[in-house]
Chains A and B, each alone.
Chain A
């Protein structure tokens, strides 16, 4: 139930204290205000995933229904992870509070809340680590920055570890290379030990576990959705593309985030994939089983991420493909590029990816055997294998948002730019300190793209939107391109609030529009059924 609002009397209004109480961070308990947090994980989803303490609860309630003895569960959880992950141990010990990371977090920048400084966010956990795992903390307590674990601390963890999008911008600036995302990952793992996840993560993870993808699309829904895209492509180009599903013996398996199969503007990006692959005559297949590239298990725990990732190699093996191409997604690529090989590799049954069109060997994916659609497309463009008409995108003034994980997690910086420059005539970069490795997060990553926390998302995305605003005012930019499904889902709202009139597109949608396909009819609309410049199809 929403908290009762007491209307102040007129006399009280003039006595408002405008300054915040200057309490130390340890003495400032967290408040849960609607719009600034995500709903708690549902009982049914935790049951599906076999996670501890399934029950109905709400973060706004005083009682979070945590079982007795939870303190030891958490402390033992910390101990286990300290022994298992050397990085966690190092990150707990090594920080010298230099402050280089402090003002690099989009949530801190937009809220001014010191607990959103990466150093302090880590300190929320580090202070407990000190109390129970270091001599100085045990004896000196608060003097050494240590504190007892109690319910207020647990709630604070929940609030702030679900206010970090694991974007790793702070880690770019840390002289010690502390990866704050990993601290958040461990923090969330610990919270999950006592049943504290958010609905927007546990729900999709449970759907993925049962149906193969976050949206819970069953095989017939996947094929049905793609078929309707095929119809739309035929209306626009006169060409009927023929995707295949679960086809054994195909050379390539294609895996994309399920967000591309439902909802705009993801589906237009997906239409771009379908058109590109058809034009190339690529021997590829979709899988209705490995139907999710993304991995919301990654926002829950290492084990859950590993479990949900398993199906990708398993399906590649079952279908007998040579290698895998993956669609435009963000965190999906951090998982695939940095974890999949360790969890389920080596994928000896696959071959090192070689583009059948250009002969390029993707040595970078020698071990994972999985390449990013942007690498694949940029290679085609470099070898001039695509017939492109960039003037079809002339009504667009495009800027490019580096999605956090492909840029910082795998160094995919130039490929998308090369593609955009080949398919659009008007491309403008945002300022230097807001792109490439220093890119600002959309504010909704790592499972925070729910709608109940819209205010929080608008804050987190403000630094990104502010840079877009600059190029909009300076160059008239009206389209924000990206290579991430969460971006495509989250950025439209961010743009509507901060920069009305700026649209959002996947890079491959731009490719689909510019691609001149063999035997196509004269196009009058783009993939959104909007008139092409000077063609007036719907007029």
Chain B
């Protein structure tokens, strides 16, 4: 990506990061105490901490223009929280697309002056990649919620099934004896 674009982005990083967090927090119920933003202790406010650290981390990776794999852990941490809160899938994931709007607004003047529209589009494509990864993570979290329910049932009934001789152990397949090439 163009160095100029990244430099401008870097300069504006703290503003963008703050706006991004503000937008995220605005999706929560009205709360005059501003707890999610103001409490900085990571154990007293795990949601706020996860978002602050995560959003900033994602932005950092995007600006460094490096492999996006590094941002996946941040994305994972954030989406795990969003996936079990009171949001529809669209609302839970909206924060990723909101970054586009924020960057466009914050960098409007600079983009026009430097004519770096192509670079903006390239940057937005990276956000799209992030969104695709986010969908995978979100769906995995939601699936896991249902798995947890069945696992819990299994833990509760395992003893009974064993006593009634309704359980049979399936031995672990020996990796050595597995045919390596099926073709």
Contacts and interface: CB of A to CB of B under 8 A. Distances in A.
Given A20-B27, A103-B35, A262-B156, A433 B94 contact: no
Given A20-B29, A451-B149, A459-B85, A110 B39 contact: no
A326 B152 CA distance: 25
A225 interface: yes
Contacts of A102: 33, 35
Contact of A112 (B36, B41, B156): B36
Nearest to B95: A18
Interface string A1-38: 00000001000010010111111000010000101100
A463 B43 contact: yes
Interface stretch (A238-246, A332-340, A491-499): A491-499
A378 B142 CA distance: 42
Interface in A200-231: 224-225, 228
Contacts of A113: 28-29, 86
Nearest to A228: B163
B158 A264 contact: yes
A112 B31 contact: yes
Interface centre among A36, A117, A452, A493, by most chain B C-beta atoms within 10 angstroms, is A493
A439 to B, nearest CB: 12
A24 to B, nearest CB: 8
Interface centre among A16, A109, A463, by most chain B C-beta atoms within 10 angstroms, is A109
Contacts, number: 135
Contacts of A498: 80
Nearest to A229: B159
Nearest to A36: B86
B176 to A, nearest CB: 14
A434 B49 CA distance: 15
Contact of B44 (A103, A115, A462): A103
Interface in A72-112: 99, 102-103, 108-112
A23 B30 contact: yes
Contacts of A19: 26-27
Given A13-B90, A493-B152, A111 B85 contact: yes
Contacts of B14: none
Contacts of A23: 30
Nearest to A460: B84
Given A112-B35, A496-B151, A433 B158 contact: no
Nearest to B27: A18
B144 A497 contact: yes
A60 to B, nearest CB: 15
B91 A263 contact: no
A294 to B, nearest CB: 15
Contact of B84 (A103, A264, A459): A459
Contacts of B28: 20, 111-113
Interface in A107-144: 108-115, 117
Interface centre among A113, A267, A434, A458, by most chain B C-beta atoms within 10 angstroms, is A458
Contacts of B81: 110, 462
Interface residues of A, number: 52
A431 interface: yes
Interface string B17-36: 00000010111111111011
A412 interface: no
A18 B46 contact: no
A262 B155 CA distance: 9
B133 interface: no
Interface in B55-102: 80-81, 84-86, 90-91, 94, 98
Q: What does DSSP make chain B's interface, helix, strand, loop or mixed?
A: helix
Contact of B43 (A35, A262, A434, A493): A434
A18 B91 contact: yes
Interface in A264-318: 264, 267
Interface centre among B26, B44, B91, B153, by most chain A C-beta atoms within 10 angstroms, is B44
Contacts of A20: 26-30
Contacts of A117: 33
Q: What does DSSP make chain A's interface, helix, strand, loop or mixed?
A: helix
B148 interface: yes
A308 B25 CA distance: 45
A467 B49 CA distance: 12
B45 interface: yes
B145 A18 contact: no
Contact of A433 (B32, B36, B43, B86): B43
B12 to A, nearest CB: 21
Nearest to A112: B28
B111 interface: no
A16 B94 contact: yes
B116 interface: no
A300 B92 CA distance: 35
Contact of B148 (A228, A466, A489, A497): A497
Nearest to B23: A18
Contact of B33 (A103, A225, A264, A463): A103
B47 interface: yes
A443 B110 CA distance: 48
B26 A18 contact: yes
A454 interface: yes
B39 A451 contact: no
B104 to A, nearest CB: 14
A470 interface: yes
A19 B36 CA distance: 15
B139 interface: no
A110 B152 CA distance: 22
Contacts of B86: 33, 36, 111, 113
B160 interface: yes
Contacts of A451: 148-149, 152-153
A19 B29 CA distance: 8
Nearest to B94: A18
A263 B94 contact: no
12 contacts: A13-B90, A16-B90, A19-B26, A103-B45, A109-B46, A111-B28, A111-B86, A225-B159, A228-B159, A462-B46, A463-B46, A466-B49
Given A35-B145, A264-B159, 14 more contacts: A16-B90, A109-B47, A110-B85, A111-B28, A111-B85, A112-B29, A115-B29, A228-B159, A228-B162, A454-B146, A455-B145, A462-B46, A492-B151, A493-B152
